[in-house]
Amino acid sequence: MTKPSTRRPDHPPFAFVLFGGTGDLAMRKILPALYAAHRDGLLAPEGQIVAVANTALDSSGYLRWVGEHVKPHIAGTPLDDSVWRSFLERIAYVALDASQPEAFSLLGNTLASGHGRRIFYLATGPALFVPICRALASAGLTEGSRIVLEKPLGYDLESSNAINDAVGQIFKEDQIYRIDHYLGKEAVQNLLALRFGNSLFEPLWRREWVESIQITVAEELGVEGRGNFYDQTGALRDMVQNHLLQLLSIIAMEPPRSMDADAVRDEKLRVLRALKPVLGDEIRHNVVRGQYHAGAIKGASVCAYHAESGVGQGSTTETFVALKAEVENWRWAGVPFFLRTGKRLAGRIAEIVVNFRPVPHSALGPTALRPGSNRLTIRLQPNESIRLSALAKQPGMGMTLQGVHLDLAFDQFFQQDRMEAYQRLLLDVIGGRLALFVRRDEQEAAWRWVAPIIEDWLGNASPPKPYASGTWGPAAASALLARHNTCWPEEEN
């Protein structure tokens, strides 16, 4: 077991203030990630964690809460009691109502002793982002600090701009960290390494050789008690506008001049601005929205979306989206990007599939002409890996081709433990590295692209297409790809 290092690490002293400190995100992701960084000796000894919530607890009560709710979500090596106790020594708790600015003097008193740069992580609903920032400013706590904003940042382009405008009056752009945890995943980092660290793929990474690209983020879970939130959000806002479009921009971006934050984000922005608008009849032809009905997940019966707690009667909120996007530039013109995400699907998968064009003529039979014979699959979850699919001759007489795979499973090839996405991103916030965070103009470009779809759905009386829980979504999602002579990976023979 690796114990916290007594050597001063590269990361500077900090005071990490976690708003929403008793919430689900704090318990499942943020505090486990900070514990892992502490366990691995990656946090400065002077670093302090201050949890803030409206729950009436004293410090000892909060630490008991943390022990009960955080420990089950700590991955990796077995938990060491001495390391856990030393982690708890970093944590203080402040009970306050974030909507009451006068209460922030309590927080100021806790931070008065000084523990380095202040980092304010807003793991709250977006309605509290602006009040919290204004209260921090009124309490004189924002000078030289950093602010981390969780998604969703608004409900549409207008509300997103309103939040960004208000936060931008208090914090400079280089102080604002808009987090998208998919950008911290090891496989996404390896996608950058694969593209820009090797000469093998770059000549093929263009319209002449790529037939289509598919991005899937599928969940087996439903709304999991978040019906009130999800019914006002839906899959398009919750997943497509941020996670999927960020992945698309990384796949399609031009090589940056360096890995500096703005160099990388400038190239992603160019992709988002080059997305062909989806308007009018194209929305009905190229966008599928669905909603799960009752079914079974791994043999267990689950209810329909409209029966979930907090979901409105007769709700038309989508729990599934599949769509075709196009990037209008020289590299990608004419190549369809198929994006798909949904809840209560047949499996938990996040992956990117790059389908290369088949050979123009085959002397070896029709197998070599079959779409999908040559592809690159980047798996983000559950097991991060990269797979290259090709054709080879079967042993024996004749020239019969069969698909073969070259696999890189990160957990098998690399012996060291992989860093979880939130741990990497939190260390980047502490270290002041912005490359893996979303810049405001990126966010605006993404909202601008999905806005016509949102507006069309608001004015469209037709309900989402139903699909049974435990399936891969409505049949219309398969038909969308069939019109382009391709299919989703699970539909292949």
What confidence tens digit (pLDDT) does each residue in 385-438 have? 888 887 777 787 777 777 777 877 766 777 666 788 999 999 999 999 999 999
Three-state secondary-structure class, residue 308: coil
Q: Is 324 annotated as a binding residue?
A: no
pLDDT at position 1, please? 43
Q: Identify the burial level of 438 via C-beta atoms within 10 angstroms of its C-beta, where 0-12 means exposed, 13-18 middle and 19 or more buried.
A: buried
Q: Is 185 annotated as a binding residue?
A: yes
Cα 197 from chain centre: 23
What residues are labeled active site? Answer: 243
pLDDT at position 5, please? 42
Q: Going from the N-terminus, what domains does the chain have, and what CATH number goes with each?
A: 14-150 (3.40.50.720), 183-418+438-491 (3.30.360.10)
Q: Does residue 66 come out as left (phi exceeding 0), alpha (psi in the -120 to 50 range) or beta? A: alpha
Which positions of the chain have pLDDT values less than 70?
A: 1-10, 113-114, 363, 365-366, 368-369, 410-411, 415-417, 461, 493
Q: Are strands 210-218 and 117-122 parallel, antiparallel or unpaired?
A: unpaired
pTM here is: 0.91
Please provide the average confidence, as pLDDT, over all residues in the chain.
Answer: 89
H helices present in 222-334, as ranges: 227-230, 234-235, 245-252, 261-274, 281-286
The continuous run of DSSP H or E covering 322 comes out as strand 320-326
pLDDT at position 244, please? 97
CA distance readout (Å), 109 to 92, 116, 135, 384: 12, 15, 14, 44
Q: Is 238 annotated as a binding residue?
A: yes
pLDDT at position 352, please? 94
Mutual angle of helices 261-274 and 440-459, in 10-degree steps: 30
Q: Is 3 annotated as a binding residue?
A: no
